[in-house]
Amino acid sequence: MSSDAKEAATNEYVTMTDHSTGKSYDLPVMNGTVGPKVVDVRPFYRDTGMFTYDPGFTSTGSCESSITYIDGEAGILMHRGYRIEDLCEHSDFMEVCYLLLNGELPDAATKKEFETTITYHSMLHEQLNNLYRGFRRDAHPMAIMVGVVGALSAFYHDSTDINDPEQRMIASHRLVAKMPTIAAWAYKYSIGQPFMYPRNDMSYAENFLQMMFSVPCEDYVVNSVLAAAMDKIFILHADHEQNASTSTVRLAGSSGANPFACIAAGISSLWGPSHGGANEAVLNMLGEIGSADKIPEYLEKAKDPQDNFRLMGFGHRVYKNYDPRAKVLQSHAHNVLDALGIRDEPLLKMAMELEKIALEDDYFVQRKLFPNVDFYSGIILRAMGFPVSMFTVLFALARTVGWIAQWKEMIEDPSQKIGRPRQLYTGEYDREYVPLDKR
């Protein structure tokens, strides 16, 4: 048990009775700083010979963590104890990165030093150019990202020793710093434009926008409204405790795999439409709906238990209230649309209409299905000029710092073990092998 876990242990127990044998087992109860109590089932198999069963981990805490706290019922999200709304209003993405990685907000000098470190790690090894050129031009940018991030371990050998704290930190800085370059180059490759190199005189968000949207033949002026919105989007996606991709990173890392390989695994997990792929799915869904008069028809499909269709960008495993990230993004979406003067864009108008109707519909109200962060990020990113295929890439870019902070926390936790769930076996048992000519 780690020292934190010892502090978290209470003198409380829950008692479980196996009625087939009449035996009872006392399971220790642990308290976090806030949030539900946790029953410690570690001795359960040893003491009872039984496993616990929890597909989808709906009742299982997989680790101790002091990085991010979510209260899904109240719609609260905090990083290192700071509310997401405050971070969005007063902070910037670089400061949030430092906070997630180090646990505290930096002072002015430390912040400057951190920004300089990130800035000076933003270039990619020049030979990585060749790796991009091996992909088909029509490859999905997420596919390129998985490949390139995984390949970083073939280029940065001096930061793959997970047992060396300094190498762990260098790998963390490299991943945060290089992700915008990797993401922008995936886009540039897909449209056949030259790769744009990072610029040290720009902020993290500005630099990403220039690598995405500038070309070598003319000057590019960053729109400050867009840069501010980009920075907010990065903050809002920076971490979200033990979701599917973060758990993937932790599980991959628990075997001792290097950080670049672990983050590539996290990107793969994020890609799915139930997770980070949802913002792309929102826009595809709006395209499929086509016009506002079809919204009722699609709402009926979403409500029909026989139909697989779900309203993308609605609902969340943890939030049974408004996703606080969605609230912040909702107001930014309106600002960006106003600033760009594109309020009349048909798809965006339809999204607003869909949001209004769904929020009043009994099915969604009763199941507490609110718009989630992906609903608004899809709208805002489209307005900013990002192609739909880049939406999940942006999520991965921003989430990298959360993944790496969680990976570091796991490596540095003395109670860390390789992740190895058990199962309820329901297959055949001990069959006699039948030779091929007798089957």
Map residue 17 onto helix, strand or coil.
Answer: strand
Phi and psi at 204, nearest 5°, equal -55, -50
Taking a C-beta distance cutoff of 8 angstroms, is the pair 292, 283 a contact?
no
**Least distance (Å) from ligand CMC to the CB of residue 85?**
18
Angle at 267 between CA 386 and CA 175, to 5 degrees: 90
The encoded tokens of residue 388 equal: 């739909």
Using CB under 6 A as the criterion, what x/- string covers residues 317-356 for binding ligand CMC?
Answer: x---------------------------------------
Name the residue nearer to ligand CMC (CB basis): 222 or 373. Answer: 373
Within 54-83, the residues that bind ligand CMC by CB under 6 A are none
Active site residue 316: yes
Query: Residue 386 interacts with ligand CMC (CB under 6 A)?
Result: no
Taking a C-beta distance cutoff of 8 angstroms, is the pair 398, 87 a contact?
no
Q: Which entry of 121, 240, 316, 332 is annotated as an active-site residue?
A: 316
Interacting span for ligand CMC (CB under 6 A) from 207-215, 254-262, 310-318, 377-385: 310-318
The encoded tokens of residue 55 equal: 């597909």
Please choose, from the candidates 58, 100, 55, 104, the residue with its C-alpha nearest in 3D space to the C-alpha of residue 77: 100
How far is residue 182's CA from residue 131's CA, in Å, rounded to a whole number?
A: 11
| Of 373, 384, 394, 401, the one binding ligand CMC by CB under 6 A | 373
| Of 266, 315, 324, 402, the one binding ligand CMC by CB under 6 A | 315
Interacting span for ligand CMC (CB under 6 A) from 7-15, 199-207, 268-276, 346-354: 268-276
Please choose, from the candidates 178, 142, 362, the residue with its C-alpha nearest in 3D space to the C-alpha of residue 273: 142
| Of 28, 313, 324, 402, the one binding ligand CMC by CB under 6 A | 313
Name the residue nearer to ligand CMC (CB basis): 98 or 271. Answer: 271
Name the residue nearer to ligand CMC (CB basis): 87 or 211. Answer: 87
Beta bridge partners, 15, equal 26
| Of 83, 199, 275, 334, the one binding ligand CMC by CB under 6 A | 275
Angle between helices 391-411 and 93-102 (to 10 degrees): 30
The encoded tokens of residue 183 equal: 């993401």
Q: Give the amino acid at 136.
A: R
Query: Residue 372 interacts with ligand CMC (CB under 6 A)?
Result: yes
Point out which residues bind ligand CMC (CB under 6 A).
240, 243, 274-276, 278, 302, 310-317, 367, 369, 372-374
Residues with a catalytic annotation lie at 316, 374
